[in-house]
Amino acid sequence: MRNIKLVLEYDGTNYAGWQRQKNALSIQQVVEEALYKLTGEKITVIGAGRTDSGVHARGQVANFFTASRIPADRFSFALNSLLPYDIRVLESQEVPLEFHARYWAKAKQYRYSICARTHAPAIGRNYYYHVPDVLDVEAMNAAAQYIIGTHDFKAFQSAGSSVKNTVRTIYQARWIWEPPCYLYFDIKGNGFLYNMVRILVGTFIEIGRHRLQESDMKRILELGDRDKAGPTAPAHGLCLEKVYY
């Protein structure tokens, strides 16, 4: 048996997220079916993060076990010949049998993309959340300082989640303004609660609109109350950029 690690890029628009599920097509299922065609084995692919429906990835990492004798670095080419164009394997390599894409992940980097102008984007419309308002990027960046470090992010977790430890460490959080109307939020942390990036972004947008103040980010963190945070920003603006091991 060999353990193969993949780095994947995908456009999540037409999928019900990473994780396999009934009655909806997931990226995991499509990759597993391609592996079945390739190897004849019924393989389970372990992803580093369960991206939601509509969420994209430029650097999702996954691993799987195989008895196949295909050279590790050829899996990327062989899989790409079988996969649809909205899923690409960028790298494939053999890793130690102990490697586990999810448990071994030390940190993840996400990017959230916004198009802030009156009219919605036509180009890249599946990759940008359209906000038809002027956003105060300086205020958003000032608020971003409050989430850097180790905090209890209970307020930034979707209701119904059963995770007990809601403490996470954020290494980097910053907004980048690209004229004429594009905004990018880059965040790197040791882990993320369910919908955490999207609720953070929804809160930052309220700050950018001056409906909340910069210091409200600190207050909401301390209160730990989901209802005080902003709405969950839509999935299609989010992209899993990189997984660190």
Which residues lie near a second copy (CB under 8 A)?
9-11, 56, 58, 76, 80, 85-90, 117-125, 127, 239
Closer to a second copy at the Cβ: 40 or 84? 84
On whether the CB atoms of residues 110 and 49 are closer than 8 A, the answer is: no
Closer to a second copy at the Cβ: 1 or 123? 123
Q: In angstroms, what is the minimal distance from the CB of 9 to a second copy?
A: 4
Q: In angstroms, what is the minimal distance from the CB of 96 to a second copy?
A: 24
Closer to a second copy at the Cβ: 76 or 195? 76
Q: In angstroms, what is the minimal distance from the CB of 157 to a second copy?
A: 27
How far is CA 69 from each of CA 37, 39, 89, rounded to the nearest angstrom? 14, 9, 18
Closest C-alpha to 28, from 58, 218, 53:
53
Closer to a second copy at the Cβ: 2 or 117? 117
Q: In angstroms, what is the minimal distance from the CB of 197 to a second copy?
A: 17
- Strand, coil or helix: 43: coil
Show which residues are catalytic.
52
* H-run or E-run covering 5: strand 2-10
On whether the CB atoms of residues 217 and 146 are closer than 8 A, the answer is: yes
Asked if omega into 121 is within 30° of 0 (cis), the reply is no
